[in-house]
Amino acid sequence: MDLSTFVDRLRSGEAAKFPTDANTLAFAQQLDSQDSIRHLRDEFVIPTKASLKKKALDGRIPGGTLPSVNGTAHQENGTGSGNGSSADDSEEQGIYFVGNSLGAQPKAVREYVNAHLETWASIGVAGHFREMDNSPLAAWQDMAEDCAKRSADLVGSSPHEIVIMNTLTANLHMMMASFYRPTEKRHKVILEWKPFPSDHYAIESQITWHGLDPSRSMVKIAPDEGTYLIPTAKILQTIDEHAEETALLLLPGIQYYTGQYFDIPTITAHARARGITVGWDLAHAAGNVELRLHDWDVDFACWCTYKYINAGPGSIAGAFVHERHGSVEWPDEDGINGTTRPSYRPRLTGWYGGDKSVRFNMDNRFVPTPGAAGYQVSNPSAVDLASLSGALSVFNKTSMRELRSKALVLTAYAEHLMDEMLREAASSPDGKTPAPFAIITPRDPAQRGTQLSVMLASEHLHDAVSAALEANGVMCDKRKPNVIRVAPVPLYSRFEDVWRFMQIFRSALGLGKAS
């Protein structure tokens, strides 16, 4: 069975139609053997069963193999750096299905951070402007811009529409400071009923900060009674109902809990046609699905880089500002008495948003860098940017199209094996056993990313499954009371991992062994 056939079917909106032997290790391994990006797994450090039990540092990295600066793998022997190989190279790797929460560590991150540390140690302050010949890194001053370039394919925009700065919630505030400008008439923000709490707090506090009343100015879209997903039609209808009074629509690209991937182009076009500014929180979408923010005419977007982008916990975040908002216009004629000032979209400013050519003139007249870069405020952390550069270097070895193709099949495969379990449970001898779980993520592959959210029938089952997963070196996200979120990230997950995961899951559910 051809991997590309499944990709084609899923891309054209058909079912994958897995064959009857799909529930075998051989089938999974056969798909892996056809996977053109399977080598990218070697770019990551995947925790092992043994490393997951660590309680103290021992100077060892799971797997022990690190790439050298010129890209060929070598064994670090640990002398000096203290991070060498171990005798446990053959240790069994765990199953890392939690990249929706914190991506696995790319080996390049260590390499890039080390390059940064060597640069800083060797040339000190000169590192701001001097690029070292054989370093994978740009000079510190240019690293944010370099990361913006490396991020363009991830969000589908020009590098000039991307700014790398701060962290996600901070950027939501920075963007709202510029894009949420309530008036007497237009003051509402449309959001979903249960966004990631930080987004709710940010929106609520912006409204309060403008002296408005959240109970009047927040419009929350909820799923229909007894369901978890929010239909596009319902979003469009809510936009219509509040169109005249709405200043901003701010939704997640992919909902963190259900994994629902919203129809960004349709919703954006609908809201913008009604004079509403549109922002997207892409925390769960960036590095996961194919985005086209520029073409979709989105006003702004924000994302973090520690989930699907793998830059490490709390790493520096990204934001998109559509090119139409980034222009800096100079008056044709010199103004009177030299008071000419450029015009640009109002924002909260700081010196790093100032044009590089005049940044160090230390002049009090703010002249923003054209494009999204003009939204920066501070000197960004070079160690953070080094980490992000390393993480993005792995994406730059493939494309979002290739990653998404694999992800469509990986996730459909996981869904297929889960559905088989449900069929098996339903045909149990007593015939009355309630389904042990339900998949609450959309069944339509176009409406989800890699994540499947699985709601277990009881809290008790949730505990049992969580314990079984942990005991077997499986990392996935468990949300009390009874949901597990399973994300087979295509960069470092194999079909074999999906198959193995399902063996552990089915035995935790008390179902029989698979063939």
Tell the smallest beta-carbon distance from residue 174 to ligand PLP (Å). 12
For residue 67, the surrounding DSSP H or E stretch is: strand 65-67
Stretch that binds ligand PLP, among 143-151, 191-199, 330-338, 412-420 (CB under 6 A): 191-199
Residue 252 touches ligand PLP, criterion: CB under 6 A: yes
Residue 384 touches ligand PLP, criterion: CB under 6 A: no
317 exposed, middle or buried (CB, 10 Å; 0-12, 13-18, 19+)?
Answer: buried
Query: Are 348 and 180 contacting, i.e. CB atoms less than 8 angstroms apart?
Result: no
Instruction: Look up residue 479 and give its DSSP letter.
Output: E
DSSP states of 415-478: HHHHHHHHHHHHTSTTS-PPPSEEE-S-SSGGGB-S-EEEEES-HHHHHHHHHHHHHTTEE-EE
CB-CB neighbours of 200 under 10 Å: 17
Residue 259 touches ligand PLP, criterion: CB under 6 A: no
Tell the smallest beta-carbon distance from residue 199 to ligand PLP (Å). 5
Residue 388 touches ligand PLP, criterion: CB under 6 A: no
**Of 91, 111, 153, 281, the one binding ligand PLP by CB under 6 A:** 281
Stretch that binds ligand PLP, among 281-289, 330-338, 434-442, 449-457 (CB under 6 A): 281-289
Stretch that binds ligand PLP, among 10-18, 192-200, 230-238, 262-270 (CB under 6 A): 192-200
Expressed in angstroms, the distance from the first to the final Cα of the chain is 19
Name the CA radius of gyration of the chain, rounded. 24
Annotated binding site for pyridoxal 5'-phosphate: 168-169, 196-199, 281, 284, 306, 351, 379
Tell the smallest beta-carbon distance from residue 106 to ligand PLP (Å). 19
Residue 250 touches ligand PLP, criterion: CB under 6 A: no
Which residues sit opposite 88 in a β-bridge?
none
What is d(CA 199, CA 220) in angstroms, rounded to the nearest whole number? 12
Query: Are 199 and 252 contacting, i.e. CB atoms less than 8 angstroms apart?
Result: yes
Residue 191 touches ligand PLP, criterion: CB under 6 A: no
Tell the smallest beta-carbon distance from residue 170 to ligand PLP (Å). 6
Residue 304 touches ligand PLP, criterion: CB under 6 A: yes
Residue 199 touches ligand PLP, criterion: CB under 6 A: yes
Which amino acid belongs to residue 215? Answer: S
State the binding string over 142-181 for ligand PLP (x if CB under 6 A, else -).
-------------------------xxx------------
Which amino acid belongs to residue 396? Answer: N
Number of residues engaging ligand PLP in binding (CB under 6 A): 12
Nearer to ligand PLP, 98 or 283 (CB): 283
3-state DSSP assignment of residue 113: helix
Task: Give contact residues for ligand PLP (rule: CB under 6 A).
Answer: 167-169, 196, 198-199, 252, 256, 281, 283-284, 304
